Structure 1
């Protein structure tokens, strides 16, 4: 297949969602008697799914046991599911970029470690859900990124193979996911990059969605 499809990460790539997650995790921490965290701390904990966000937040505020982790996760999900887009918004230039890609006939999908339900809810609320043929999120009992399985499953559902896809993300988790899956990677460097990744060619990184280009080094 000669046509290229694009799969995007969601949090920190297409949308700035950390402010709502920050409020939700601080609500959950308060419910279990823990102090609040700064936004920058919460951003540094994003990337491996909500379970890891909760575990890291508890570790930073006094440690965690299975019982307190379960309770904190429940408080977080209850609050967050009702407050997903209070402060969350697409990054500047994202919607214009999606319009350009759609006009060019490029198939698009989302592969995220956020649970599928909230991911779809957020995309629809922000008016971007209709751009994507597939919105694939974390599922109970299934591996999460950086395991290659979620991305490969998303690519298969899209009707493509890994050699015909670009994965666009903002983090070391996303870079490793693409590497594990054998998929070309492009970095949005204006997101939540919290760990170093190898130096990428200039065509494989960007910090402004108005300058996004399809071409990669591969």
Structure 2
């Protein structure tokens, strides 16, 4: 059954795990910060499972794994080092997911797009720029304070206001529970991508916050095109009738 997206007027994308496979770069940045502080380093699979709630939560996970709460001074030091490493090489080890460049190029002619991410805005913009995806975006909404992080609806609501659309007409596309729950809180429809980092946690969240399952970027692009074609036909019919 084809998903009806005829009422959609904008699309909000998550970043890490949705547009880019940035886990290798996040691991390098985290380990650079931990190594500088003389702490334990972590492998890629471990770090990938922690991605989704932003760098502060990532650092806290790393400290807890070492039975460290971490003083505020230590967390601040680690975050500063993490940011520096990210900005120095935003996407040196990772890559854009297959099919994403074609998806963005195709959607650019159809709908305004924004990025809504728990990564702080300067880091998100650096990654998008390195990925060649910054210019097509109408805005980048990063979590620059803890209260803004998904699953709170703050970032989606801010994006909708900037674009001048109702949240109910903006599709949230993401790979994790926070994306689905944020969409539910904002009153936005959601799409859960199959290629991201969310795994079972995202599938469980989908039971609470229903989402359209998207297997490939091409499926999303074709569905948007088909839905918009149907909408144009309906608008033409209505105009002709009156």
Matches within 5 A, 1:64-75: 64-66=69-71, 67-75=73-81
The number of aligned residues is 214
How do 1:2-13 and structure 2 match up within 5 A? 4-13=9-18
- Given candidates 194, 202, 215, the residue that maps to 1:207 is 215
| Partner of residue 90 from structure 2, selected from 75, 84, 92 | 84
Alignment of 1:109-120 (within 5 A): 109-120=114-125
Using the size of structure 1 for normalisation, the TM-score is: 0.90
Match of 1:128 in 2: 133
1:96 is matched with: 102
Corresponding residue of 2:52 = 47
- Indicate which of 18, 23, 27 corresponds to 2:28: 23
TM-score w.r.t. length of structure 2: 0.82
Structure 1, unaligned runs of 5 or more: none
Q: Secondary structure at the match of 1:114?
A: coil
> C-alpha deviations, 1:94-124, integer Å up to 9, x for none?
0101111123x21111111111112112212
Match of 2:166 among 155, 161, 175: 161
Structure 2 unaligned segments of length 5 or more: list them.
Answer: 1-5, 228-242
Moved more, 106-115 or 188-197: 188-197
Deviations 1:29-86, CA, capped at 9 Å, x for gaps: 1122222111111111111111001100111123222232222222211222212111
Q: CA RMSD in A?
A: 2.2
Cα distance change of structure 1 residues 2 and 170 upon mapping to structure 2, 3 Å threshold: closer
Deviation, structure 1 residue 21: 0.5
Which has more radius of gyration?
2
Counterparts in 2 of 1:3 and 1:170: CA distance versus 1, 3 Å: closer
Change (3 A) 1:34 1:136: same
Q: Which has the higher helix share?
A: 2
CA distance in 2, matches of 1:69, 1:158: 35
- Higher deviation after alignment, 161-170 or 62-71: 62-71
- Secondary structure of 1:186's match? strand
Matches of 1:199 and 1:140, distance apart in 2: 28
